[in-house]
Amino acid sequence: MNNIIDEIKVSNNIVLLCHINPDGDAIGSTLAMYESLKKLGKDVDVLIEDPPEVFNYIKNFTSIKKSSTKKYEVAIILDTASRERVSDSSNILDSVSKIIVIDHHISNTNYGNYNLVEKYPACCELVYNLIKEMGITIDKDIAVPIATGLLTDTGGFSHNDVLPSTFFLAGELSKIIDMSKIYKKVLKSISINQFNIKKIAMDNLKITSSGIAYSYITEEDILNTNVTQNDCGILVNIPMEIDTVEVSILARIFKDKVRISLRSNNIDVNEVASIFGGAGHKNAAGITTKIKDHDTREKLRNCGVSVVVKFLRISERTDFEELIKKLLEVLEGKIYEWNINSK
């Protein structure tokens, strides 16, 4: 952490980036860092191609730029596990002198010149620690985005990866802001468009006998309900409220790809997602299609899921039904293993 602080201190022209389709943790981490660097007198920009308007209550949200032709010394990338996932339409990373990565994903590829990667339930907790180490006072303008990220990635402190330090941080933030107001904005308030897409996803929902809930929405559904990708991100969490559900799957079907979100209580869905070229956390991960047959077979063998290998017939581009079938097979095996081991 000290080498990153030293690099920030000697740099004046800084750009902040995060991952594509940013959620509350990405937005919160980025804007908390932005406010902190401004307090240090730095010349700093935030570049995010499509920031969700639902977070417009955060100070400096209107300072976000979609692109830039400016030259920067240093890029700080937050909440992003790999360079391929960085929202960088201006190709900033090709021209900066240094890249600093601040992330909490265990799958992070350490693609920066400096990498601060530590396992926390939210990147905002790591950012908070860094800001404190830099000697910056945490005021309302920093506390609000930190709380936004914390509540987003912990599901309102409901995920089983929440740490004692996370609750301590929530207590510290509560001394500065009303956490209940942020909770309502992040987790309890939806638009009529979000309600409509939620209804479609629930109408398509199926639940297996082993406790896997899976649903889908199409590109047409997204266009017809006029929702954003960020609006759709919350849908995968809803089936987890059902007491018999262990894993939730939501597929977003586009003309050229399928994006799948995974959530779980006990199963390591990051391990499962990695088999199909995805990544994430133990209890929250994602997959995008285009799966190589040979690579997937080898990963499955290495993971010991031999029962699935004989069923795999994965083509260069997998359609929705085929991918879901194979994903369910892997998850069924994982749930069976977990049930055996937990007895």
Q: pLDDT tens, 21-60? A: 899 999 999 999 999 999 999 999 999 988 888 899 999 9
| The amino acid at 181 | K
Structure confidence at residue 291 as a pLDDT band (50, 70, 90): very low
| The amino acid at 292 | K
Whether the per-residue pLDDT at 258 is higher than 60: the answer is yes
Structure confidence at residue 290 as a pLDDT band (50, 70, 90): low
Angle at which helices 24-39 and 123-133 cross, to 10°: 10
Q: What is the pLDDT of residues 85-137, one digit of tens each?
A: 899 988 999 999 999 999 999 889 999 999 999 999 999 999 999 999 999 99
Q: What are the residues whose beta carbons fall under 8 Å from the beta carbon of 301, sequence distance 6 or more? A: 309
Helices (H) and strands (E) in the chain, counts: 13, 11
Closest alpha carbon to 204 in 59, 95, 76, 320: 320
Cβ atoms of 250 and 236 closer than 8 Å: yes
Which range has the worst mean pLDDT, 61-65, 78-82, 275-279, 302-306? 302-306
**Per-residue model confidence (pLDDT) at position 308:** 36
- In the chain the domains, ranked by start, together with CATH numbers, are 2-188 (3.90.1640.10), 193-341 (3.10.310.30)
Decide: helix, strand or coil at residue 122: coil
